[in-house]
Amino acid sequence: MPIATINGIPLNYQVKGSGDLVVLIMGTGSPGRVWDLHQVPALVKEGYRVATFDNRGIAPSGESLAGITIDDMVKDTAGLIELLGGPAHIVGTSMGSRVAQELALARPDLVRKAIFLAGHARMDRFQITLTEGERQLYDSGVELPAKYKAALTAVMNLSPASLADENTARDWLDVFEFSGGRVSPGVRAQLGMDREFDRRAAYRAVRVPCLSVGFADDRMIPSYLTREVADAIPNARYEEVPDAGHYGYLERPEAVNKLLVDFLAD
């Protein structure tokens, strides 16, 4: 993957395919290559040029250990779109959706259409408390046993429908156990971002076409918060994927990809 200096940091990115540009924005703690499992192949097949990247905080992009703000991440994404010859369609998930939402508001000249997976205009008390707990766990130096951490990750990010199937549950738990290393300092910087915000009133000024996609069994960003984004943005659409948790784009890729492709083609 090439690395470009954008908004004052090295930004690690890759581009596949040809056609109209789609930029995919990942959530907290995950590299951009996660999109390669399902969304990138589906979009390239439909004739799009698809860019993924590692957000600041995820090496080899700049880890920004002194702190990260949502404005930093919006400017990073805007700079990448400019580098690649935008405007672009943008798709975010979780924290990446928040970036996409703010980019659609601040730089509509760079955004053709925007899709928010597990988007949110605010966080409720549970998400705020959970994030503070994650910060405290990292700062304490305590390392959870691998199997317990895998089980906790599964419960928080997958649908009960996935965990009810023995083979599916085993496969996911194996993935989480063997990929769940210690949180990096850059990810800790992402966790330090402000969670006390409410952007519902601000999003009334968004004018680009938007689709907000909730996951019915999402514990991290409950679907009612994702629906609020669609309610706030004039003429935005809301869709909900059943039997899907926070990782719905990985659990139910066919359903999610159809929503992406159909909305972008409208």
The HSE-up count of residue 131 (CA atoms within 13 Å, CB side) is: 20
* Catalytic residue selected from 120, 162, 218, 223: 218
Q: Classify residue 1 by its DSSP letter.
A: -
E strands along the chain, which residues?
Answer: 3-6, 9-16, 21-25, 49-53, 88-93, 111-117, 210-215, 237-241
Determine how many CB atoms are found less than 10 A away from the CB of residue 145: 9
Cα–Cα distance measured from residue 157 to residue 149, given in angstroms and rounded to the nearest whole number: 12
- d(CA 57, CA 41) in angstroms, rounded, equals 25
Based on the residue annotation, tell me whether 89 is a catalytic residue of this protein.
Answer: no
Does 218 participate in catalysis according to the annotation? yes
Q: At what angle do helices 146-157 and 166-179 cross, to 10 degrees?
A: 120
Residue 215: CB atoms within 10 A of its CB come to 30
DSSP per residue, 16-54: ES-SSEEEEE--TT--GGGGGGTHHHHHHHTT-EEEEEP
Active-site residue flag, 243 = no
Catalytic residue among 30, 94, 97, 159: 94
CB 247 within 8 A of CB 218: no
Tell me the three state secondary structure of residue 200.
coil
Catalytic positions, written as ranges: 94, 218, 246
